[in-house]
Amino acid sequence: MQRTALVTGSSGLVGSETSAYLDGNGWKVHGVDNNMRADFFGPGGDTRPTLERLHITATRFIHHELDVRDRAAIAALVQDVRPDLIVHAAAQPSHDLAASRVFDDFEVNALGTLNLLEAARQWCAESPFAFMSTNKIYGERPNELPLVELKTRWEYSNPTDQNGVDESMSIDATLHSLFGASKASADLLVQEYGRYFGMPTVCFRGGCLTGPQHAGVPLHGFLAYLARAVREGLPYQVFGHKAKQVRDNLHSLDVCQAIVAFAERPSAGAVYNLGGGRSNSVSMLEAIARFESLFNRKLAWEYVEEPRRGDHICYISNLDRFRADYPSWNVGVSLDAIFDDFVRMGAAVA
């Protein structure tokens, strides 16, 4: 019997990768996306090319031009489809943009999630519900971990922190950014529908999720926009921390494989940090140098002393909990392969 999935944000990075992956494995996929990324970020954020590729390559993909804030439309779709899996990847994703579009940010991230959860509770309460949360729900709390400054990066100074941030870190009494607050609201709702109603829900608190199909823009999409800036000679700004801030990067293919792993053996109210881990971590200075070498071009970048509010100085995802529960999953796309993918994409565009 053919299984059916509902994927929101299906023209975005994780949503499109998941839609293509499920389609390739025999699922019928209903995608929900209204290209609001273009509204948030302008032409550089336009996801229509990704949607067009899905229409061409996916044989069981059906697109729905819906806004997750439209409660009635979302409820009607879930009632009609009764999906076996819901992947909620639609979001206002920018840490910075949220402050200037406070209602859009909260309504898309929090209210949109509630709309989808309640529709799922009414019409497919036993179907796994995977929510793409974010490490920004921890706010500035990761910055309280003791750090040491190295030549090209900040690093954890305590041996006990070497595997990174785990799920026991508090989300309270810390600056989050409005984006972090809206995503934390959604994260808690997803957990509560799992714990209170017994629904099979999971929050994946993503680090830097990436891939060559990412519509990177200055306000979102670290590696994707950096690669474009080096390739096309665009100006680039780095904010604070001596350009040594560290992120771990996880390819979108590894993300959707984690989603499928959970869907095959779900639990109620699960929470997992999900990123590239230590092996896929890189600082701004290191990423700039690597792309400059790969593209054989220098980046014209400006250093801004004032860091972004609520920004993480060093963030590496501790993957121990997810690996323990799903030992068949691991980071499959290395950092080298991620960088090479961006270079190959750049060559194809050129």
29 three-class SS: strand
Residue 325 phi/psi, 5° resolution?
-80, -25
Please give the full DSSP string across 126-182, using - where no structure is assigned. Answer: TS-EEEEEEGGGGTTGGGGS-EEE-SS-EEE-SGGGTT-B-TTS--SSS---HHHHH
Hey, what are 300's tokens? 């014209």
pLDDT along the chain (350 residues), means of 10: 96 97 98 96 93 97 98 98 98 93 98 98 98 97 98 98 98 96 98 98 97 81 91 95 97 98 98 98 98 96 93 97 98 97 72
Q: Structure tokens of 141?
A: 């709390």
As given in the structure block, the two tokens for residue 188 are 């808690």
Report which of 27, 180, 170 is spatially closest to residue 93, judged by C-alpha positions.
180
pTM of the model: 0.97
Burial of 259 (0-12, 13-18, 19+ CB in 10 A): buried
62 sits in which H/E element: strand 61-64
DSSP codes of every residue in 216-260? -BTTB-HHHHHHHHHHHT--EEEESGGG--EEEEEEHHHHHHHHH
User: CATH number for the domain including 177?
Assistant: 3.40.50.720
Tell me the C-alpha distance between 316 and 321, whole Å: 14
Domain count, the chain: 1
Residue 102 C-alpha from the chain's centroid: 20
Strand partners, 156: 147
Token readout for 182 is 């809206």
d(CA 207, CA 274): 6
SS3 state of residue 208 = strand
CA–CA dist 145, 165 (Å, integer): 9
Residue numbers of the domain that contains 339? 4-349
Q: Using CA atoms in the order 158, 163, 168, 173, what is the torsion angle rounded to 10 degrees?
A: 60
Strand 154-156 relative to strand 236-239, pairing = unpaired
The Cα–Cα gap between 42 and 49 comes to 14
Predicted confidence at residue 350, as pLDDT, reads 47
